Amino acid sequence: LESSLLTQPWASVCFGESTFLAKACFRDTGYVLLISDLSSVWYESADVEVVGQRSKELNKRLTVHVSSFLHRLRNLMCPLLAEQPDTATSFSCHHVAGGLSLHVKSELSGLPFYWDFHCCPAPVEMVSRHLVRPLIRMSLALQYQVQGLTSLLLQKDAEIEDYRESGATLSRDRLRTEPFQEQTFQQNFMAEVRRGAK
C-alpha cells in the first residue's frame, strides 16, 4: 500500500478554515492516508481487520462486507483529493492528543455512514520518502531549469547585440527589450517569494 502511495499526487484539501496537503491509497486489503499542514505530517494505515472493527463501532446499522466499506471510502476520498468534493459528504478535522482525527459523514445504501481516520505522527523515514526527497528533487530540477534559461537568455542578448552592431534595426519598436540582468532578476524573484510566504 505504501509503495502505491508513492505514485499518488499530493492534493490541497480544506477542512473548515484549515488547509492541508493529503494523499491516499485504497485497496481491497486496506488503505493508507498521509496528511500534512506543512508543520506536521500524520498518517493512518489500516488493514481489513481494523476497517471491519471500526465499521462495526461507527455504523451499527450497516451490515455490509468490509470491501464495501473500503470501496465507499475510496469513492468519498477520491473526489475530495481531486478537489471536487461531494456536497452530500461532510469532512471535519480535529487535533487530538499526539495526532489528527478526520471525521467523515455520508450515506451508504440509504443509511447514515460515518468514518473516522485516526492519524498519528508519520515516521521520519515516511516523511522523507513522501515529502522531503520529492521536494528536494523538484527544487534541484527547477534550479537546473533556471540555470539553463538564464544561459539561453544571455546568449540571446549577445546574439541581439551582434545584430545591432551589424546595423540591424527592429521593424517594430515595441519589440525592443532590455538586456537580461541576472542579479536583478534573482533579487526580484526572492522578494516575490518572501512576499508570497507572508
Q: What is the CA radius of gyration of the chain?
A: 25
What local confidence, expressed as pLDDT, does residue 172 receive? Answer: 83
Q: How far is CA 109 from CA 64, 103, 185, in A?
A: 10, 19, 58
What local confidence, expressed as pLDDT, does residue 197 receive? Answer: 60
- CATH level 3 topology of 1-122: Dna Repair Protein Xrcc4; Chain: A, domain 1 (2.170.210)
Residue 198 confidence class, pLDDT cut points 50, 70, 90: low
Pairwise pLDDT comparison (55 vs 3), residue with the higher score: 55
Cβ atoms 77, 26 nearer than 8 A? yes
Q: What is the pLDDT of residues 88-129, one digit of tens each?
A: 888 999 988 889 999 999 887 788 889 999 999 999 999 999
Q: Would you say residue 151 has pLDDT above 80?
A: yes
Cβ atoms 115, 56 nearer than 8 A? no
Q: What is the pLDDT of residues 35-78, one digit of tens each?
A: 999 899 999 999 999 999 998 898 888 777 888 889 889 998 98
Instruction: State the CATH class of domain 128-196.
Output: mainly alpha
Closest CA to 70 of 100, 112, 27, 102: 27
Question: Which residues are registered as beta bridge partners of 120?
Answer: 43
Closest CA to 62 of 192, 54, 172: 54
d(CA 43, CA 120): 6
Closest CA to 85 of 32, 21, 15: 15
Global model pTM greater than 0.95: no
State the cell numbers at 30. 486496506
Cβ atoms 11, 82 nearer than 8 A? yes
**What burial class does residue 148 get, using C-beta atoms within 10 Å of its C-beta: 0-12 exposed, 13-18 middle, 19+ buried?**
exposed
Q: Would you say residue 191 has pLDDT above 80?
A: yes
Q: Would you say residue 188 has pLDDT above 90?
A: no
Query: What is the DSSP annotation of 83-146?
Result: T---TT-EEEEEEETTEEEEEEEEEETTEEEEEEEEEEEPPHHHHIIIIIHHHHHHHHHHHHHH
Residue 32 confidence class, pLDDT cut points 50, 70, 90: very high
**Most confident region among 30-44, 75-89, 174-188 by mean pLDDT:** 30-44
Sequence ranges of the domains in the chain:
1-122, 128-196
Question: Which residues are registered as beta bridge partners of 18?
Answer: 15
* High-pLDDT (> 90) share of the chain, %: 38
